[in-house]
Structure 1
Amino acid sequence: MKRILITGENSYVGNNFENWLGKSSKEYFVDSLDLKGDSWKNSDFSSYDIIFHVAGIAHVSSNSKKKDLYYSVNRDLCIETAKKAKAEGVDQFIFMSSLKVYGEAAQIGCEKVIDEKTKPKPDDIYGKSKLLAEEGLNKLDKENFKVVIIRSPMIYGSEAKGNYSRLSKFAKISPIFPDIDNQRSMIHIHNFCEFVKLMVDNKERGIFFPQNKEYVKTSKMVKMISVVNEKNIKLVSIFNNIIKLMSKKFSILNKIFGNIVYEKSISEYKEEYRILDFKESIEEAEK
């Protein structure tokens, strides 16, 4: 039996991963630990084989006043947890990093394809804090302490918060949505949980880039959400030129309609983890 400790209690990813492994309870024992305050430092990690570290500030911010908080939680807490895990004999440390270590999406109409040669270049505090945590973890990586870094794109699914939740709400109430050509790397929570399970099962180490098989076009996702909910949103291109012009001033538009993808080959793995295709993933997310 593999004994797993999820550090970071009540997170969307952590809760889903625990439920995912619950289907095979004879193979996995899963605990979770709240890292708020200092009491966690008295916990005994020696009985666990794997730490899955999901604790952190997930909200992306460019507010420089929050720099110390982001670094304290996303970098320092991560490294401190890993050092404790290593000292107490844990075999593997899995870290939730982010596509954000490569910066924001390209402006509407421009490409941004990340491959194995692309150097990280974060442009906000969130991305920088994740990259600094990675650098600290790499120094701890040894044969008897395997570090897995997962640079995840946007994760979506049932009850997911953030951008997907906003798009879902919009798709259910709006009669129209801009039909702008773009491509995004994303991953459904079930596909992501299966990927992490394979990291555990195969005792992996290294940096990984999981994503769905298909790139996602924002308007196609909104349309699919509408269809699944038996709505009839229409995709229109009449506003495209205006949106492209406005995107030069309002970066939020590039976050919605800009391009940023992982080159597909770097997301391949020796076992298939993408158990839901795009249509199935939206059906699950909207159920």
Structure 2
Amino acid sequence: MKKILITGSNSYVGTCLEKWLDNYPDRYSIDSISLRNNLWKKKDFSEYDVVFHVAGIAHVSSDPKMEDMYYKVNRDLTIETAEKAKVEGVKQFIFMSSIIVYGDSSSNKRVIDRNTVPTPSNFYGNSKLLAEEGINPLESDEFKVVILRPPMIYGKGSKGNYPRLAKVAQKLPVFPDIENQRSMLHIDNLCEFVRIIIENEENGIFFPQNSDYVKTSEMVKLIAEMHGKKIKLVKIFNPVLKALGNNIGIVNKVFGNLVYEMSLSDYKENYRIRNLEESIIETEEIEWQI
């Protein structure tokens, strides 16, 4: 049995992973801990095989007053936690980084491959990248370091752009039909990937994503249809939205392009247990009436 410690006891990803691994009571023992105060430093890490580090500031802020806090939490706290894990004999340290290390989405096609160099466009992305660079040197035969760079994560109870789009899908009669591609990752696919990574005692950088790219308008239409709503996709707004895309952040977030080359996310075992339609059903908790 592997013993796993999750940092960030109230985090969305951490909570979901704990529930996911609870399905395997004979294979995994899970604890979680908050790093909001210094009490965690007294915690004995030596009893754990794996530390899954998700504690951090997860949202993007442009407030310069927040910059120091981002580096303190996302960079410094990550490095300090990894150093403690190594000293106390933990075998594997898994860090939740983000696709944000590659910068923002673009109004033009943007594909990340193995040769793409990270270029953060804000201090959130830079704090994640510096955390990666801080923990990588700790790697050894006895201490395996895993860095995950997932795209936008969604699922029931998630925060961010997905729940906003889901509300729009159930209210608006029309939605802009813009050709774009986004890599996304349903929470169940992420949790299964993490489970496999733990099982295989992996190390290195990984780029998990769903098996298909997402076009925003098609996803919104799918959400609407699953709630019995009709939404018409129209191109009339496209010229204006494309003109605004590079200047207004929210437009770029919703309709921009940012994908991992699909082969970058392949793994020797299947972790993509939900396709897009199944993931929407699971996220919206749709109950079919017979």
TM-score of Structure 1 vs Structure 2, range by shorter chain: over 0.9
> Does the residue aligned with 1:23 lie in a helix, a strand or coil?
coil
Consecutive unaligned residues in structure 1, runs of 5 or more: none
2:163 counterpart (162, 165, 179): 165
Residue 119 (structure 1) aligns with: 117
> Does the residue aligned with 2:47 lie in a helix, a strand or coil?
coil
With 82-91 and 228-237 compared, the bigger mean Cα shift is at 228-237
Residue 92 (structure 1) aligns with: 92
What code does the residue aligned with 1:31 have? Answer: D
Q: Kindly provide the CA deviation profile for residues 180-234 of structure 1, in whole angstroms up to 9, marking residues without a partner as x.
A: 0000000000000000001100000000000000000000110111011111111
- Paired with 2:172 and 2:157, the residues of 1 have a C-alpha distance of 20
1:41-52 map, 5 Å? 41-52=41-52
1:192 counterpart (179, 190, 193): 190
Q: What TM-score, normalized to structure 1?
A: 0.98
- Paired with 2:137 and 2:143, the residues of 1 have a C-alpha distance of 11
Q: Kindly provide the CA deviation profile for residues 87-128 of structure 1, in whole angstroms up to 9, marking residues without a partner as x.
A: 000000000000000000012xx1110000100000011100
- Paired with 2:206 and 2:123, the residues of 1 have a C-alpha distance of 22
Asked if 1:83 is matched to 2:83, the reply is yes
Size of the aligned set, in residue pairs, is 285
Identity of aligned residues (%): 59
> Does the residue aligned with 2:138 lie in a helix, a strand or coil?
coil
Residue 288 (structure 2) aligns with: none
- Contact between 2:97 and 2:147, CA under 8 Å: does it hold in 1? yes
- Paired with 1:249 and 1:159, the residues of 2 have a C-alpha distance of 30
Residue 217 (structure 1) aligns with: 215
Residue 54 (structure 1) aligns with: 54
> Does the residue aligned with 2:211 lie in a helix, a strand or coil?
coil
With 180-189 and 249-258 compared, the bigger mean Cα shift is at 249-258
Q: What TM-score, normalized to structure 2?
A: 0.97
Q: Would you identify which runs of 4 or more consecutive aligned residues in structure 1 move more than 6 Å?
A: none
- Paired with 1:276 and 1:248, the residues of 2 have a C-alpha distance of 32
- Paired with 2:196 and 2:171, the residues of 1 have a C-alpha distance of 39
What code does the residue aligned with 1:202 have? Answer: N
> Does the residue aligned with 1:238 lie in a helix, a strand or coil?
coil
Shift in Å at residue 23 of structure 1? 0.6
- Paired with 2:246 and 2:22, the residues of 1 have a C-alpha distance of 47
Residue 255 (structure 2) aligns with: 257
> Does the residue aligned with 2:32 lie in a helix, a strand or coil?
strand
> Does the residue aligned with 1:119 lie in a helix, a strand or coil?
coil
Residue 2 (structure 2) aligns with: 2
Q: Kindly provide the CA deviation profile for residues 19-70 of structure 1, in whole angstroms up to 9, marking residues without a partner as x.
A: 0011111100000001011011000000000000000000112222211000
Shift in Å at residue 247 of structure 1? 1.8
- Contact between 1:4 and 1:30, CA under 8 Å: does it hold in 2? yes
Residue 228 (structure 1) aligns with: 226
- Paired with 1:56 and 1:260, the residues of 2 have a C-alpha distance of 23
- Paired with 1:174 and 1:246, the residues of 2 have a C-alpha distance of 21
Asked if 1:16 is matched to 2:36, the reply is no
Shift in Å at residue 246 of structure 1? 1.8
> Does the residue aligned with 1:128 lie in a helix, a strand or coil?
helix
- Contact between 1:63 and 1:125, CA under 8 Å: does it hold in 2? no
Shift in Å at residue 251 of structure 1? 2.4
- Contact between 2:245 and 2:252, CA under 8 Å: does it hold in 1? yes
